[in-house]
A = this chain, B = another copy of it.
Amino acid sequence: MPGELTRGQFIATSVAGGAHTARAKPPAARRPKPAAGAARRHADVVVVGAGFAGLTAARAIRQAGRSVIVLEARDRVGGRVWNHDLGGGRVAERGGTFIGPTQDRVAALAKALGVNTFPTYDTGEDLYVADGTRLTYSDTGATGIAPPDPQILAELATVIGQLDKLAATIDVQEPWAHPQAAAWEALTLQTWLDQQIVMSARFQEVASLATRPIFGAEPRELSLLFTLFYLASSGDELNPGTFERNFSTRNGAQMSRFVGGSQLIALRVAQALGSGVVLGAPVRRISQTRSGVTVVSDRLTVSAKRAIVAVPPTLAGRIAYDPLLPFQRDQLTQRYGQGVLSKVAAVYDTPFWRTQGLTGQALSTTSPISATFDDSPPDGGIGVVFGFVGGDNARAYGIMSPAARRAAVLDQLAGFFGDEARSPSGFFETFWVGEEWTRGCPVGIPSNGTLLAYGQWLRQPVARIHWAGTETSTYWNGYMDGAVRSGERAAAEVLAAL
């Protein structure tokens, strides 16, 4: 049937010197053309988006004995989660990669699907590189997750302590209801930092070093309220979110990885849904009446009793709705842009940094990369290191030539791990802001005042339309776990209403 999911149809493009944005291009023979007429199908529920949120919702609906159709714009499933084929059965991740403690919902889903985890390589010392400074340190050492840079250490302790203290007062169900919500919406993270400490040039760089990977943004682009919510969200009901749980590998959000790559979870859910997943079907319009909803995509029109829209707010806002959504929902999506984050990766014959006693994790105030991780396959038979390029760095990186980008990355990796890093066997990058059906990573970022004014509309259904996606999650907002949680929540809403 046209548009059904076909396993293995993804070509993960290596773009060393090639196309800037790697796109999935299924072989032409396998890519069904849109039906000339208006193909129509019916289901109890239609889901927009086959990322982790949409797939999780569809799976729950199917398991409850209801019919479901998932419309996915891309020629693949997974959304912001996307395996890169390294050959020989090995994969690396172009998007969401890690799983850590309290990320129990994605853990349960993986377990149910037989997708196993393994520890992120974390043996040895981490690196910290700032202008003229190169330190190695252990995150079990005296400074914990903080690099032992005397220029910033005291200030960092102050700031992280205060962030955690404030985040602990946030109700992740409704951060906008906090007594200080309006005051915190008036502050950017930058302003708040300036109020806490005497800001040195070095600390300023370290602040961006953190916000670029976490948010794909600079401290000036972040509302303090949203920042505090995001940290509070990095946990669960029993374990309040903290900066350390968000940022750490050891006992943190980067602790483990999935055997077979994180996208394997999406592939297995989609495989079970079979013809319930329709690829290459960007949704353009959603109409609803008192009795049902009609979702029009380029390939297929689906009528259903309920719809779940499981795409980032900025993409949900580009769908035409009839009748119009309440103004609050539209305003929300007008001011909830995706972060700017690229993931760059180099492949080597071996993970050679391990023999130097290094974890492969580096934090750097230099550019373009702010943070690296060892992304090698479980057997360590080849070495992969990836770096996050975010915020101002990503904007500068995005206008460089492919050759200049590659050179800048390899130069920086050589500074971290030695000259061996200059000769990778592979190099690939994923420029998420150029991906039509994501438009930025890792997460949507509400502008100052938006959570306060419109936050309750993130999840509030509009008649027969329900909202999912990691941006709607109370816990692990911005993560795969948050996406899964949001899918489970939206499915429960819909099933209760059917």
A contact residues vs B (CB 8 Å cutoff): 182, 185-188, 190-191, 194, 217-221, 284, 314, 317-318, 324, 327-328, 330-331, 334-338, 340, 392, 395, 398, 431, 433-434, 436, 439-440, 447-450, 452-453
Contact = CB atoms under 8 A, between A and B. Distances in A.
Given A318-B318, A331-B340, A448-B447, A188 B190 contact: no
A449 B318 contact: no
B186 A219 contact: yes
Contacts of A395: 328, 453
Task: Tell me how many chains of this kind the complex includes.
Answer: 2
B331 A440 contact: yes
Nearest to A317: B318
A324 B436 contact: yes
B449 A220 contact: yes
A429 B174 CA distance: 32
Nearest to A189: B186
Contacts of A318: 317-318
A439 B330 contact: yes
Given A187-B191, A449-B221, A314 B327 contact: no
Contact of A439 (B220, B314, B334, B448): B334
A37 to B, nearest CB: 13
15 contacts: A186-B188, A186-B194, A188-B448, A191-B191, A220-B452, A221-B448, A318-B318, A324-B436, A330-B433, A331-B337, A331-B340, A331-B440, A334-B336, A335-B447, A447-B448
Contacts of A182: 220
A484 to B, nearest CB: 25
A470 to B, nearest CB: 17
A186 B204 CA distance: 12
A72 B279 CA distance: 32
B392 A453 contact: yes
A434 B337 contact: no
B221 A447 contact: yes
Nearest to A447: B447
A337 B447 CA distance: 9
A314 B334 CA distance: 6
Contacts of A447: 221, 335, 337, 447-448
Residue with the highest number of chain B CB atoms closer than 10 Å, among A186, A314, A436, A452: A186
A452 B340 CA distance: 14
B338 A434 contact: no
A334 B314 CA distance: 6
Nearest to A321: B436
Residue with the highest number of chain B CB atoms closer than 10 Å, among A191, A194, A318, A449: A449
A220 B328 contact: no
A318 B315 CA distance: 9
A393 to B, nearest CB: 12
Contact of A220 (B186, B194, B314, B336): B186
A327 B187 contact: no
A313 to B, nearest CB: 9
A327 B433 contact: yes
A37 B190 CA distance: 54
A219 B185 CA distance: 10
B188 A187 contact: yes
A442 to B, nearest CB: 15
Contacts of A331: 337-338, 340, 433, 440
A191 B187 CA distance: 6
Residue with the highest number of chain B CB atoms closer than 10 Å, among A217, A220, A328: A220
A92 to B, nearest CB: 23
A136 B201 CA distance: 51
Contacts of A433: 327, 330-331
A440 B436 CA distance: 25
A450 B324 CA distance: 27
A211 to B, nearest CB: 11
B191 A324 contact: no
Lowest 6 CB-CB distances: which A-B pairs, in order? A447-B447, A334-B337, A221-B449, A186-B220, A186-B190, A335-B337
A312 to B, nearest CB: 9
Contact of A431 (B317, B327, B338): B327
A186 B330 CA distance: 25
